[in-house]
Chains A and B, each alone.
Chain A
Amino acid sequence: MRLKLQRYAVKLSRNWKPKLITLGLAVVVWLIVSSVNSENAEADIDDTRIVIPE
């Protein structure tokens, strides 16, 4: 089991730079998209507010 994990770690650490860059890119894209989605959701809630005329 330990040997298997070691092998997997070696495999994962190979070519680590592009893996790290693409992981960073994935995190950034996810953060941007999720923030835009939450903004849109808030805007939708604002739009559905019932405005009672004075």
Chain B
Amino acid sequence: MDIVDFLRGGFEIIVLWMIFYQLYRAFRESRAAAILAGLVTIVALGGFILHLTGATVLQSIAGAILGPGTLLVILFQPELRTALAKLGSNRVLAKLWKQEENQDLVARICDSVSYLVSKRFGALIAISRSNKLSEFVKTGTKLDAVCSRELLGTIFHPKTLLHDGAVIVNNERIVAAGCILPVTGRELKDRSLGLRHRAGIGVAEVSDAVVIIVSEETGTVSLVVGNMMQRDVSVSMLSTRLTELIYHYASHEIDQKTDAA
């Protein structure tokens, strides 16, 4: 074996390793991991035994079952669907396909915020972008619901169990409510900013999420992205900014009307 063959073999093994490891990472939190492990064991053991014994008829039957990949499609149907959904939510593809839905999301959020302001309900909504905020989703109550005024109004009603935490919106759906977000450790000039604002600033510091905060005391709306906070945002301004920040993701530098620090 010359050096070129050796390097080619090494390269092929590394590529295979990366593929297997990424598959493992994608499937580890689902039932598919166990199915995959079972399938690998059966195929490896079966292949080994068939190869040793030279049972040609059994070999061709096994090949006919596994060959077309039908079994894999049946076994991994939910995962394939999830993978396709993930592919579909890719930012580039989302720009091609999801313009209308994103704008619809913005409209629904603005409608909800308008309702929350009118009712003077405090609210904290984090809309994820490339960072899916999964570590904070775990701290709350998981949901998978379409964003609507009725739902957000119910969640943030002061007499409900979930009203104290944050709502996380991921891929245009409310994925969790009552989430605990990290509170910023920064010294804030404005003393009127409470814990809800501190949590909103905190999550924006550690992720690229767009955070909307409705103050319970003043009924004002604040928008936080990165290190910048825009206060007293009107609903029409919120709609414009959200469209820019969520749909036109590239331009996510928020105008510095008021610096939180």
Interface residues of A (CB under 8 A from B): 18-19, 22-23, 25-30, 32, 34
The answer to the question of B13 belonging to the interface, with a C-beta cut-off of 8 Å to chain A, is: yes
Contact between A22 and B13 (Cβ–Cβ < 8 Å)?
A: no
CA gap between A32 and B47 in the complex, in Å: 10
CA gap between A18 and B44 in the complex, in Å: 18
Residues of chain A within 8 A (CB-CB) of B19 are 26
Looking at chain B's contact residues, the main secondary structure is: helix
Given known pairs A28-B44, A30-B16, the reply for A22 and B9 (CB within 8 Å) is no
Contact between A27 and B47 (Cβ–Cβ < 8 Å)?
A: no
Contact between B13 and A19 (Cβ–Cβ < 8 Å)?
A: no
Chain B 1-24 residues near chain A, CB threshold 8 A:
9, 12-14, 16-17, 19-21, 24
Contact between A30 and B20 (Cβ–Cβ < 8 Å)?
A: no
A-B contact pairs, 24 of them (CB 8 A): A18-B21, A18-B28, A19-B21, A22-B17, A22-B20, A22-B21, A22-B24, A23-B13, A23-B17, A23-B21, A25-B40, A26-B13, A26-B14, A26-B16, A26-B17, A26-B19, A26-B20, A27-B13, A28-B44, A29-B16, A30-B9, A30-B13, A30-B16, A34-B9
CA gap between A32 and B16 in the complex, in Å: 13
CA gap between A22 and B19 in the complex, in Å: 9
Residues of chain A within 8 A (CB-CB) of B47 are 32
Q: Which of B12, B21, B24, B28 is the one whose CB lies under 8 Å from A30?
A: B12
Residues of chain A within 8 A (CB-CB) of B40 are 25
Residues of chain A within 8 A (CB-CB) of B24 are 18, 22
Name which residue of chain B comes closest to A32, CB basis. Answer: B47
Name which residue of chain A comes closest to B47, CB basis. Answer: A32
Name which residue of chain B comes closest to A21, CB basis. Answer: B24
CB distance from A54 to the nearest CB of B (A): 31
CB distance from A26 to the nearest CB of B (A): 4
